[in-house]
Structure 1
Amino acid sequence: MTNSNTKALSEVGVSIWLDDLNRTMLEQGELTELVEEKSVVGVTTNPTIFATALKDGAAYDEQVKDLAAQGADVDEAVFEITTTDVRNACDQLKSVYDASNGQDGRVSIEVDPRLARDTEGTTASAKKLWGTVDRANAMIKIPATVEGLPAITATLAEGISVNVTLIFSIDRYRQVMNAYLEGLEQAKANGHDLSTIRSVASFFVSRVDTEIDKRLDAIGSDDAAALKGKAGVANARLAYQAFEEVFSTPRWQSLADDGAHVQRPLWASTGVKNPEYKDTMYVVDLAVDNTVNTMPPKTLDAVADHAEVAGDQVTGNYDNAREVLAQLDAAGVDYNDVVKVLEDEGVSKFEDSWGELLDSVKGELDKAATK
C-alpha cells in the first residue's frame, strides 16, 4: 500500500528519487518495494554512495573475484562494478520509465570526479558511461563547474540524457539551463529526436545552510541568528523562479515545438544536517510541480512517517526568498564567496570519496588475487 505522505508529495508534482544505491538493495527487492510503498520513481548515485556500498563488500565479492582473474586494474574494476549496479537498477525501474513516458524511472551515474575541471575528459567519460550502461533510462551526472558547462552541452548534443550536479548559485544555474538549451539545439542539428533526451539540474540545498549558518554564528548578532536555516530554501525557491523564466522564452518554445522536455530542477542534499531543524524541511518547503527531490533513506523515512505536505510552497514565496538573501547580505554574508567555497568543497569531497572507493576496490582485488 502506498504511503499517504509520499503519495501527497507526488500529487503536488514532485518526483521522489532515492539518493542511494547498492547491490544488496537490488538483489533483495528493496528498490521495488520503495517504488510500490513510498512512491520512489528514480535513483541517484555519487562517489560517496558507491564508496559506502563497497565497504559492505560481500555482495560484490563474486564480481571482484572475476575482475581480479581477468587482470582488471582498479579503475577498470570500479567502472565495471558501478555500471553493473546502475544497469541493473535501470532494469528494475524500466516499468516506471515506460509508465511516465521517460520522465522518471531514471538512474544517474556520475563521471569520474577527478575530471571535474577537464571538459574533454568529462565528455569522453560521459559517452563511455552511457554506452556501457546501455539503457535509455540512465542519466549521466556532470558537475556544473565552469569546465563542466561545455561538457554538458557536448554530451546532450550526442542525444545523451544528463543530470547536472553540484549547483549552488542562481547565476551558475542560469548557465546550466543555457548549456541545456545549447545542447538541445546541437542535438537537433545532429539529427537526434529531442523527445528522447531528458535532463535534471541538481540544485543543492542543505549544504548552503551549513556554510551560511557557520558564518552567521561567527557574526554572532541576534539578527544573524534569526537568519539561520533560511538560506537553503530561499536560494532554491529563487532558482525555481529562474526555471520558470527560462522555460517560458521563445527560444525554449521553439525547442518544445520539436518535442523537447524541460530540464526539471532537482533538489539535492535534502538530508538535514542540523538536528534542530525539521527533518523534512527540504522536502515539504520545496514542494512544487515539475521538480525532483532526491532523498537519502533517512529523509525518505522521515517524510513517509510525519511530513505535512501542504501543496506548492515555492511559487508564492519569491518575495520572501529575495528578502532572506538581502538580509544575509546586509548581515555581512558574502553569497558569491559561499557558493564558490561550496563548489570547491563539493568537487573535493567527491574526489576524496572516489579515492576511498579506489582504495577499497584495490584491497578487494589484491585479496582475490591471492586466493
Structure 2
Amino acid sequence: MRKHRIRYCSWHILHKLPTKWGNVSDNGNEKIKEKNSVKTDKKRVKSDKVKEKKSEKTEKVKEVVYNSQTRGEFEEKWIKLMDDLGKENDPWFRGIFELREKWVPRESLKDFVENFEAALKNIWQNENDADFKSKFRAPKLHYELPMEAQFQHCYTNEIFYKCQHEIRKCANLSCKLVREEDGDLVYEVRDCRDMSFMVIYRRAFLEVQCICRKFEAMGILCAHCIQVLKQERIFSVEDKYIVERWRKDVQRYNLMIVDPAFPTIPEQGRLYELTIATNPIIQELLHLGSLNEILHTAVFNGFVELRNKVAGIINGEVDNESNGTVRIVGRASKGKKNRGSQMSGEKV
C-alpha cells in the first residue's frame, strides 16, 4: 500500500497571521479597540498604526520561515521570535509550530539547486533515450499512405504516433466539397458523431486550414485536413506542415546551467564544453556504426578504447607526454602481449 505524505499550504497559514495578532499598540502593552462607528481622525491614525504593527510582525515571521537554512536554525529563530512577540503560549502559534514538518519549507538554497540539477539530468537522459529510439528504432507503418512514411522519416517517434493517430481517424470521416471561392475550395468534413468541420484548401498556395485549428494550436495536422488532402489526391504534406523542433534530425544540446552562487564547481563548465564539442561527433559515429557490421565493430571498439584510456589516466597507468602522445606505463592485459607498450594518439 502506497504511503502518502500530507502537507499543509504555507501560503494559507502565513496569510492568516494578521488576524492572529489580536489588539496591539505601539508599545505592545496598551490595547487599542477598533470600533465600527464613525472614526475620528485620531482613531484613524491609531488604526493605521495597528495595521502597520501587524504587518511588521507578519514580515518577521515570514523572514524566519523562508530564510532559515536548516531545521535547527528555524526552530531557534521561531522560539526567540515568539518570546519577543509575547506569543510563546498562544495556542494557535504553538499548534502550527508542532506541525512545522507539514508546512515549513525544508529545502535550503543548496538543496534546491542540487535537486533541480538532478531533475534536469533526468529530463536530459529521457530526451537522449527518446532521440536514440527515434533515430535507430523506426515505428511500424500501418497505412499505405506516403504521408505516414513522411511523418515517420521526419518526426520523432512520439510525434509520429500522434500524426499516425490522426491518419487512423480518417477512417471515420466523410468529406464533400461545399463551394469554391476565388480558387479556394471549401470542404465539409463530418465524423461518426455527425459533427461538422469546415476545411479550406488553397490550391495556389498548397495550404490547408481547418476550423478546429489543431495545427495552429498544437503543431499536429488534424484528421480533417488530412482527409481533404487525400480527397485532392495529395498524399504528402508541404514542409511548412513539418514542425522543425520535432524533427528527429534536429541537433539538440543539453546546456548546463551554471549557478553563480556556486562558482567552485569547474565540472559544470567542462561538461558543457564537452557536450557542445563532442555531441556532433558522437552522433555521426553512431550513424556510421549503424550502416554495417564492420563499422559497428569499429565504432564500438573505438569507444571501449577511449574509455580504457581515460580509466588508465585516472588510475595512474597512463602518462601524458608533452609531445602529444599517450604512453601506457602499466603491463599489457592478458591476450594482448603482442601489442607494443606505446601508442600514439590525441590527448584525452
Higher relative contact order (CA 8 A, sep 6+): 1
Per the normalisation by structure 1, the TM-score is 0.19
Q: Radius of gyration: which is bigger?
A: 2
Whichever structure has more helix as a proportion of its residues is 1
